[in-house]
Amino acid sequence: MFELGQLIMYASRGVCRVEKIGSLDIEDMGDRIYYTLSPVYGKGTFYIPVDSNAFMRPIMTPAEAEDFINSISDIEGDSYSNKNMVSLKEHYSMLVQSHDSEKLVQLIKGIWEKAHNAEKNGKHPAQIDKQYMEKAEDILYGELACSLDIPRDDIVGYISAKISG
């Protein structure tokens, strides 16, 4: 069970703070216990049953985040290529929904390489690539920023400095 105020990863929504643990003040909801989650980088509130199968885990510790950043240069980009947009979307979605930071880096690197090659050939990156790259970056960079207590806008520079350092 998570604690009040704890930062957790919730599904593919990114980092959320546990604001409340208890029953909801809604008629006919029974005695079920819920987490009330507020996204750190976004708006809204999520009410998730404590006994739910939804993916939730604590964010990385600062040491885990540092170790992970130090391993990023060793992670290969995702090389999946398919002209069929449905298949491509399914593949990207599977990587994002894996909730695995290494798979997010693979996705980011793979899409970056694809976009770089497209631009060299005078083409624009596909919209689906942009969408999933942004989603992967939001999830990964949000967690690393929270873990290291660094502003979200500074995390890319921090990672770049550590990798090239």
| CA of residue 153 relative to chain centroid, distance | 15
Which of 55, 64, 66 lies closest to 16 in space, CA to CA? 55
DSSP calls for 85-128: HHHHHHHHHHHHTTT-HHHHHHHHHHHHHHHHHHHHTT-PPPHH
51-62: average pLDDT: 96
Q: How does DSSP classify residue 138? A: H
134-149: average pLDDT: 97
User: Residue 157: which H helix or E strand, with range?
Assistant: helix 155-164
Look at residue 28 and tell me whether its pLDDT is greater than 70: no
Look at residue 35 and tell me whether its pLDDT is greater than 70: yes
Average pLDDT, the chain: 93
Look at residue 134 and tell me whether its pLDDT is greater than 90: yes
Query: Does residue 118 come out as left (phi exceeding 0), alpha (psi in the -120 to 50 range) or beta?
Result: alpha
Which of 90, 92, 8, 93 lies closest to 50 in space, CA to CA? 8
Which of 20, 1, 115, 111 lies closest to 58 in space, CA to CA? 1
Q: Cβ of 104: how many Cβ atoms within 10 Å?
A: 25
Binned at pLDDT 50, 70 and 90, residue 31 comes out as confident
60-65: average pLDDT: 98
Look at residue 58 and tell me whether its pLDDT is greater than 90: yes
- Least confident range from 38-47, 79-88, 107-116: namely 79-88
pLDDT score, position 29: 63
Q: How does DSSP classify residue 78? A: P
For tokens 């980088």, the residue is 41
For tokens 């546990």, the residue is 18
In this predicted model, what pLDDT tens digit does every residue of 72-100 receive, in sequence order?
A: 999 999 989 888 889 999 999 999 999 99
pLDDT score, position 27: 63
pLDDT score, position 118: 87
Q: How does DSSP classify residue 60? A: P
102-117: average pLDDT: 94
- Least confident range from 16-20, 56-60, 83-87, 138-142: namely 83-87
